[in-house]
Amino acid sequence: MKKAFVLLLVLLLVILAAAAQAGELRVDFYDMGKADAMLITTPDGVRILIDCGTNKGGKALAERFRKEGIDEIDTLIITHYDKDHVGGADKVLESVAVRQVIMPVYDKESKQHTQFLEALEAIPEITRHPMEIQSDMVMQSDDGVKLSITAAHRDSYGADEENDFSLALRLTYGETKFLFAGDAEAPRQLEMMEEGDIACDVLKVPYHGRLVSTSERFLTQACPKIAYITDSEEEPASETLIEILKSLGSQVYTSREDGSVSVISDGKTVSVLE
C-alpha cells in the first residue's frame, strides 16, 4: 500500500514536471526584408501578430499561415502606419480570423493605411483598441504571459518622423522579457527609456538597425541576449550598431543574413530554435 502511494506520488511529480516543460512561449521573427512581422504564440496557444510587412509581405504571410494551418489570430498589433509595417495588414485581415486589433492614433495619409482601414471596416465584429497619444494598456493571459503597450508621448515629432509614433511592446513570460521597439528613432527611444526599465532578453531592434543619437544608450540599457534586426541588402543595418550589440554580449540576427528566426522562452531562459 505504502509502495503504491510512493509510486503514485512519483508519477504525479513526473506529470507536473512534464506540464511545466510544455509551457513554452514562442516568437517567430519572419523574414520580410526591411519590414516587420512577428508572431507571438503563448503556452496556451494565444496568437499575437505584430505588424504585417509590406503589401508583398502580407501575401507571403497569408500563404505561410495557410500552410501552417493558422486560421486565427487573437490580437493584431500595428506599431505604426509605414508601409513596411501596415502594408500587408489588409491581406492578413482578409485571410485569417482576427479577434482584435490594437493600433496607434495619429494622422496618416497613404494607400497602405487606407487599405488597412478599409479591410478593417469590412469586418465589424473585430474589437478595436485605438491607442491615443500617451495611453497605455496591459494584456494578461492565464498562462502567465503579460504584454504591456505604450503609445507615443507627443502628438508631433516634426516632418517625416512618423517612426516616433511607434507603439512600444514589452512582453514578459516568467523571468524572461522581450521588447519590440517598432521604428523608434531618438525621441521615441528616449521616451521608452523614461517609461521604465527597457532591460530585456530579446530585442526587436528599433528602426531596422539604423544608428541614431540614442542608439548606444538604448542598446546598453536594453542589453539583450538575443537581438533581431529587420534589414535588407539594399539597406543593411549599421555595422557600428551591430558592434555595440556584440560588445554587450548579444547574439545578433538579421533578416538579411539569417532569414526568419524563432525564439523560445521556457519562462527562465530564452533560446533560438535551430
Binding site for Zn ion (CB under 5 A): 82, 84, 183
Q: What are phi and psi of 102, to 5 degrees?
A: -115, 130
CA distance 223 to 25: 21
> Closest approach of Cβ 181 to Zn ion, in Å?
11
Which cell is 57 given? 509581405
> Closest approach of Cβ 145 to Zn ion, in Å?
25
84 vs 191, which CB is nearer to Zn ion? 84
182 vs 224, which CB is nearer to Zn ion? 182
Which cell is 127 given? 474589437
74 vs 84, which CB is nearer to Zn ion? 84
CA distance 70 to 225: 29
CA distance 179 to 152: 15
> Closest approach of Cβ 254 to Zn ion, in Å?
14
> Closest approach of Cβ 163 to Zn ion, in Å?
7
232 vs 262, which CB is nearer to Zn ion? 232
210 vs 225, which CB is nearer to Zn ion? 210
Measured torsion, CA atoms of residues 93, 173, 266, 79, in degrees rounded to the nearest 10 = 30
Q: In sequence order, what are the residues at sequence separation of 6 or more whose Cβ sits closer than 8 angstroms to the Cβ of residue 85?
A: 35, 36, 51, 52, 53, 78, 79, 182, 183
> Closest approach of Cβ 51 to Zn ion, in Å?
8
